[in-house]
Every structure is written in C-alpha cells, then in structure tokens.
C-alpha cells in the first residue's frame, strides 16, 4: 500500500498558492519605494533565505538600498544590523507561522525604537500579524509538513509582487499573471528528472549555485535537501564555486546551476569546468537547459520557477533513503524560544 505524503501534495499544489499570492499582494496597501532610505528584509531559516532573494530583487528593481538580515541578528545585534543614521527604514518580516520567536521579538524591538513601518509576508494570522502595519497573508500556502515548500513559494511570489509594486513596475505585475500556468506545466515536465536525480544514491553531495536574485533561492534549495534527506548540501554564488569549493566536485557530486539570462556565458563556463571533473551537472534556465522553463515571463519576476524541481528532488531523495520527508529529524515547523 502506498504511503501518503503531505510534502508531495504541497509541492504539486503550490501554484494555487501562487495565484492567491498574486492577488493578495497586489491589493495590499504598500508605500512607495522612494519613501525610505533603506529596506530591511528579515526572517529565520527559509524565511531568511527568501529575504536574501527578495532584498536583491528590491534593489535591482528600485535602485534603492535593501538588505537581508537574520531575525536573530536583528534582535541581538541591532548596532550592527540596523543603520545608525536616523533615516526612515521599512522592515519586511517574513514568517510562515507568524509565531517564530526571533522574528516576533525583532519586530517588537524595531517598532519600539520607532525606526519605521513593518510589513509582514506570511501564511497565518497570528501574533506577528497583529504587530505590523501591513500583513500580506496567503492561507493557501499553509502546510501540514515541516519543511517549507508551498509556503515558501507563496511568500516569495508575494515578495516579488511587493518589489515590483514599490518600484512602480506594473508591466512586471501584468507579466506575473502567467506564473501559475507556467508553474503547472513545469511541474509536469520536471518531475521525472527531479525524481531520477533524487533517487540516485550514487550521489552523496549536492551543490546549488546561483547569483544575484538567485543566490537566496540556491540557499533555500540546499536547505530543503538537508532538511528532507539529511544529505550534505551547500549553496554558493556561481563564480565563487571556483574559489575552493570546486575541490569537492567529482564522482558522487551533483552541481545544480540556477542560470540567468544576462550572465549565462560566464555561468555556463563554470558548469562546463565541473563536468570535466566527472561531477554530475543539472542546469535550470528559461531556455537551453536540462530543465527549461520556456515561460516568456521577464527574468526578474519568474525566479519562483527554479524551485519546484529542486523541492521534488529533495523529496524523492528522502524516500530513497528511507526517511519521512513530512517529519525531518530534529526539526519542528515553528521554533519558539525564551528570549
């Protein structure tokens, strides 16, 4: 008798959460990007990696400074993580549950200091949503499993909408409406490739390479591989992989490249070097890749399409190793501490 796994359902159904995220984030009352000297994105774990990707996108689209800071660092080391100037800040807190202790406390401290308004991107109306100025919540991103897949995707799509709106790029908002259809098509075509690579136990280490707005997504893909399958996995900026980590390439390694349009020539050269070392390589890109999106959506707002195949790969590796992807070892869905 086959076993039912929530994680697989959540990966396969995530495009419904994308659709909701597009609608909710488009209607949220957002400020203009010109209102702030700096925007800070914060969260823990997957939410921090989402913040890395979102802050890079915000700066790319608006031309204004944005940073990602782990919520624990924002809480414990504000003298380092917060600008010391009195300029107006916007804090974007990312939290699936809205109850993660470090994020709650960091938001409380930020508000008490009067540094600026707070926006929440999440999936639950919980304690954190009551403390912010603008909650952007997608209940279709909620999950039964511990590792974030559908929730991360819904929150990242919402963050992408936020960046496009605050940049005044309504052309990008229009283009994003095609994401759910592109995602459903991609989920059908990429699953056999992701499954084969996930089930290949001759592979014992995974490296996820992405630069610019893709680096945070490479971090998230690496985390999913660790969480679900207890496999050695690391993320790197693509060109950085040459500077030391390449020594770990070779038989047994899979190197995954999240390729861009603009820098594709340089990024492809890194993957070609890795192939010569007898490592396996998987490329993802809009066109001419092992997994090609063929979406026709502008590069800056289609980055969510990198994730479904990598989530599926981690899921199938978990099963191949006899693990339960819904309940990773030593982990809980929410981290709550006494701080």
pLDDT in tens, 200-221: 999 999 999 999 999 999 999 9
Tell me, what's the pLDDT at 334?
A: 53
In Å, what is the CA distance from 291 to each residue of 1, 174, 324?
32, 25, 26
For residues 335 and 92, what is the distance between their CA atoms, to the nearest angstrom? 19
Smallest Cα–Cα separation from 162: which of 172, 150, 153, 152?
172
Pinpoint the alpha helices (H) of the chain: 6-12, 14-27, 46-62, 71-76, 78-81, 101-112, 150-166, 170-176, 179-199, 215-229, 264-275, 307-320
Domains of the chain are 6-176 (3.40.50.10490), 179-320 (3.40.50.10490)
Computed on alpha carbons and rounded to an integer, the radius of gyration of the chain in Å comes to: 19
Band (34; pLDDT cuts 50, 70, 90): confident
For residues 26 and 198, what is the distance between their CA atoms, to the nearest angstrom? 36
Tell me, what's the pLDDT at 124?
A: 94
Is residue 100 within 8 Å of 334, Cβ to Cβ?
yes
Query: Which one is predicted more confidently, 100 or 121?
Result: 121
For 328, other C-beta atoms within 10 Å of its C-beta total 20
For residues 286 and 305, what is the distance between their CA atoms, to the nearest angstrom? 9
Phi, psi of 236 (to 5 degrees): -150, 150
- Rounded to 10 deg, the angle between the 14-27 and 179-199 helix axes is 140
Name the helix (H) or strand (E) containing 325. Answer: none
Q: Tell me the average pLDDT across 14-40.
A: 95
Query: Residue 205 corresponds to which tokens in the numbers above?
Result: 């280490």
Query: Residue 267 corresponds to which tokens in the numbers above?
Result: 């990024």
Q: Which tens digits make up the pLDDT trace of 271-327? A: 999 999 999 999 999 999 999 999 999 999 999 999 999 999 999 999 999 999 999
Band (335; pLDDT cuts 50, 70, 90): low
Band (3; pLDDT cuts 50, 70, 90): confident
Q: Tell me the average pLDDT across 54-76.
A: 96
Pinpoint the alpha helices (H) of 77-178: 78-81, 101-112, 150-166, 170-176
Strand, helix or coil for residue 200: coil
For 335, other C-beta atoms within 10 Å of its C-beta total 15
Burial class (CB in 10 A: 0-12, 13-18, 19+), 21: buried
Name the helix (H) or strand (E) containing 91. Answer: strand 89-95
Is residue 38 within 8 Å of 62, Cβ to Cβ?
no
Query: Which one is predicted more confidently, 87 or 20?
Result: 20
Tell me, what's the pLDDT at 77?
A: 93
Among the listed ranges 38-42, 46-50, 125-129, 217-221, which one has the minimum average pLDDT value? 125-129
pLDDT at 329 over 80: no
Tell me, what's the pLDDT at 181?
A: 98
Q: Tell me the average pLDDT across 124-136.
A: 93
Tell me, what's the pLDDT at 333?
A: 58
User: Any idea what DSSP says for residue 34?
Assistant: G
Q: Tell me the average pLDDT across 235-240.
A: 97
Is residue 73 within 8 Å of 178, Cβ to Cβ?
no
For residues 319 and 227, what is the distance between their CA atoms, to the nearest angstrom? 13
């Amino acid at each position: 008798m086959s076993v039912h796994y929530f994680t697989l359902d959540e990966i396969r159904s995530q495009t419904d959460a994308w659709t909701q995220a597009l609608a909710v984030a488009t209607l949220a009352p957002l400020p203009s990007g010109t209102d702030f000297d700096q925007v800070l994105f914060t969260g823990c774990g997957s939410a921090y990696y989402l913040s890395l990707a979102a802050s890079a996108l915000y700066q790319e689209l608006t031309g204004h400074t944005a940073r990602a800071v782990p919520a624990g660092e924002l809480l414990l080391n504000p003298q380092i993580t917060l600008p010391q100037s009195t300029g107006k800040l916007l804090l974007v807190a990312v939290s699936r549950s809205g109850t993660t202790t470090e994020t709650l406390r960091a938001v409380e401290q930020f508000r008490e200091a009067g540094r600026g308004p707070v926006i929440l991107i999440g999936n639950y109306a919980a304690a954190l949503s009551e403390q912010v100025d603008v909650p952007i919540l997608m209940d279709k991103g909620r999950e039964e499993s511990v590792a974030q897949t559908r929730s991360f995707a819904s929150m990242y799509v919402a963050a992408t909408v936020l960046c496009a709106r605050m940049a005044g790029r309504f052309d990008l908002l229009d283009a994003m409406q095609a994401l759910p259809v592109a995602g459903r098509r991609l989920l059908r075509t990429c699953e056999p490739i992701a499954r084969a690579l996930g089930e290949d136990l001759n592979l014992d280490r995974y490296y996820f390479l992405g630069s610019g707005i893709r680096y945070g997504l490479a971090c998230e893909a690496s985390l999913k591989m660790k969480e679900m399958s207890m496999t050695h996995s690391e993320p790197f900026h693509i060109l950085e992989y040459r500077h030391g980590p390449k020594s770990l390439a070779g038989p047994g390694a899979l190197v995954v490249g999240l390729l861009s349009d603009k820098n594709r020539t340089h990024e492809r050269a890194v993957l070609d070097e890795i192939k010569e070392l007898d490592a396996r390589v998987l490329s993802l890109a809009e066109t001419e890749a092992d997994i090609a999106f063929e979406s026709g959506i502008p590069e800056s707002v289609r980055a969510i399409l990198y994730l479904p195949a990598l989530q599926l790969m981690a899921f199938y590796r978990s099963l191949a190793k006899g693990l339960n992807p819904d309940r990773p070892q030593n982990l809980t869905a929410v981290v709550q501490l006494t701080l």
